[in-house]
Amino acid sequence: MRNYTYHNKWQKLLTPEIVSQLTQIHEFKGEQNLFIEAKADTLTQLVEIAKIQSTEASNKIEGIYTSDERLKSLVTNKAVPRTRNEQEIAGYRDVLATIHESHDFIPVKPSILLQLHRDLYKFSGKNIGGTYKNTDNVIAEEDEQGNKFVRFQPVPAWETPNAIDKICTAYDDIQSEADADPLLIIPMFILDFLCIHPFNDGNGRMSRLLTLLLLYRAGYIVGKYISIEKLIEQTKDTYYEALQRSSIGWHEDENDYIPFVQYTLGVILAAYRDFSTRVRTLATNNMSKPERIREIIKDTLGTITKTEIMEKCPDVSQVTVQRALNDLLKSGEIIKIGGGRYTAYTWNHNKEN
């Protein structure tokens, strides 16, 4: 039978690899405040980029799409949702904005989870927003031949309200345990939330929004500047594998949290590394904008697109980036690969010899 508590569980997660991940994240967090104070204006541009990427990626994982142009218009509140997909994208946009702006005032309580879920569906014609599931659901998977099978059987509908009450209470209780690192407790809570699967729809997106909320409340705000959802979307096969491994034996309270915790910490660490690199690039005041673009391409293993360069230099206009690329191509320092929307660039290492 499931024992909803985190006491005497988190200590089992302190493997050498996880301890190393925690140490690195703590070090990056220390740098974070210095970066934010030094480059507050430029970081505002990173926030806007991350909002678009987060909204796109978290919905994309669930098969919810729209065009790039419509997505940007929706996230910047310059368009009204036209389709069901766009209604759900707009809902995610608003919940994400609420978490960004008010995370310190959003406690982890069942009523809050229901309100966030309600807002996720506020543009939709569906009446499922803000209510727990009314029928039992399953987490299914489809193989390459199109055969579907049950990957996990969540908590029954009738048990769901009590189960959510218990994980919220357990999360509050563990806060009093000074040695319990929130970076361990947060993915444990998210795994339990996903195993309960409390809603008819929107469980995956809610789990990612809750991840950000809990990280922000614990002082880890890197997700405002680097899209954690995009990092998850880029590694979603590994994400599902970790979730599967950590959910085995969950109902019997015998599951191993380590795979999911390790995966989540890896994503957070990747976000911090990306954040550190981007701000360091922005902080090179002695370099011109074309020189910064040159260094970004040179430091990139493999290829990089113009869009990715602009994400790393949000203070540089598209015209300046294109001009710098043209100059680097003429000088032979970079190589152009592909064409059209698939155009990418790579550093010409042969020219160095």
Return the minimum-mean-pLDDT range out of 109-113, 202-206, 293-297: 293-297
pLDDT at 353: 56
**Domain range list for the chain:** 10-281, 286-352
Say how many C-beta atoms besides its own lie within 10 A of residue 167's C-beta: 25
User: 170 near 5, Cβ under 8 Å?
Assistant: yes
Question: How do residues 256-300 score in pLDDT, each as one tens digit?
Answer: 999 999 999 999 999 999 888 777 766 665 678 898 899 888 888
* The model's pTM: 0.86
- Per-residue tokens: 66: 């729209």
- The matching CATH number, chosen from 3.40.50.720, 3.40.50.300, 3.40.50.12280, 1.10.10.10, for 286-352 is 1.10.10.10
Of residues 222 and 39, more confidence is placed in: 222
pLDDT at 235: 96
10-281: CATH topology? Fic-like fold (1.10.3290)
pLDDT at 30: 85
Return the minimum-mean-pLDDT range out of 142-146, 151-155, 296-300, 330-334: 142-146
Query: What DSSP string describes 6-40?
Result: -TTTGGGG--HHHHHHHHHHHHHHHHHHHHHHHTH
The pLDDT confidence band at residue 32, using thresholds 50, 70 and 90, is: confident
pLDDT (average), residues 180-191: 97
Question: How do residues 36-75 score in pLDDT, each as one tens digit?
Answer: 776 666 688 788 889 999 999 999 999 998 998 899 899 9
Nearest-angstrom CA–CA distance, 58 and 76: 17
pLDDT at 287: 79
